[in-house]
Amino acid sequence: MATLNAAISASASALSAERARIEVAVSNMANAESTRSANGEPYRRRDVVLTSDPVNSFDNALGQASATGVKVADIVVDQSEFQRRYEPSHPDADADGFVALPNVDQSEEMVDMLSAARAYQANLAAISMIRDLVAKALELGRS
């Protein structure tokens, strides 16, 4: 049963990690046109770095089967070039009339969000399968 608890913890950790990915993708899309941020330059897109994280280190130490969870290691700022658009009337335009816009690519964020949503779904399916297993095991003690 300890193994199954570890499995549920692993899937639960994935749910929060995937939710973090969706949150970051959404805030990137929300700020796709933000030309000002706290440090004065346009918004820079964020990226989530995931890393695997053993949930039951005791079983791992024994070399036995154990589930591996996942966690958000870091949220990094994408340092790639800003996009530039010719818009002389914009208050943030430079001397040549170009406005620096965030380095956010809408389609990239959409793809990222979809893949996170699919992974979330898969982990939910995994949790319900494990829950059925636990219920089935508990039936042995009944009647």
Partner 1 sequence: MNGISDVDVINALRRQMTIAAARQAASAGNLANVDTPNYKAVDVTFADTLDAAQVATNPRHFGSMTNAGQVHTEVAQDAPARRDGNTVVLDQELLKMSRAAGDFSAAQTALAAKFRLVRYAINEGR
List of residues contacting partner 1 (CB under 8 A): 1, 3-4, 6-8, 10-11, 13-14, 17-18, 21, 49-52, 55, 63-70, 115-116, 118-119, 122-123, 125-126, 129-130, 132-133, 136-137, 139-140
Q: How far is CA 86 from CA 33, 51, 82, in A?
A: 14, 40, 13
The tokens of 101 are what? Answer: 């816009």
The nearest distance, CB 57 to partner 1, in angstroms, is 13
Neighbours of 24 (CB within 10 A): 20
Identify the sign of the CA torsion 58, 61, 64, 66.
positive
| Residue with Cβ nearer partner 1 (12 or 29) | 12
| Residue with Cβ nearer partner 1 (93 or 124) | 124
Neighbours of 63 (CB within 10 A): 7
| Residue with Cβ nearer partner 1 (25 or 101) | 25
The nearest distance, CB 28 to partner 1, in angstroms, is 16
Which residues face 48 on adjacent strands? 75
The nearest distance, CB 121 to partner 1, in angstroms, is 10
| Residue with Cβ nearer partner 1 (72 or 99) | 72
CA 33 to CA 23: how far, in whole Å? 17
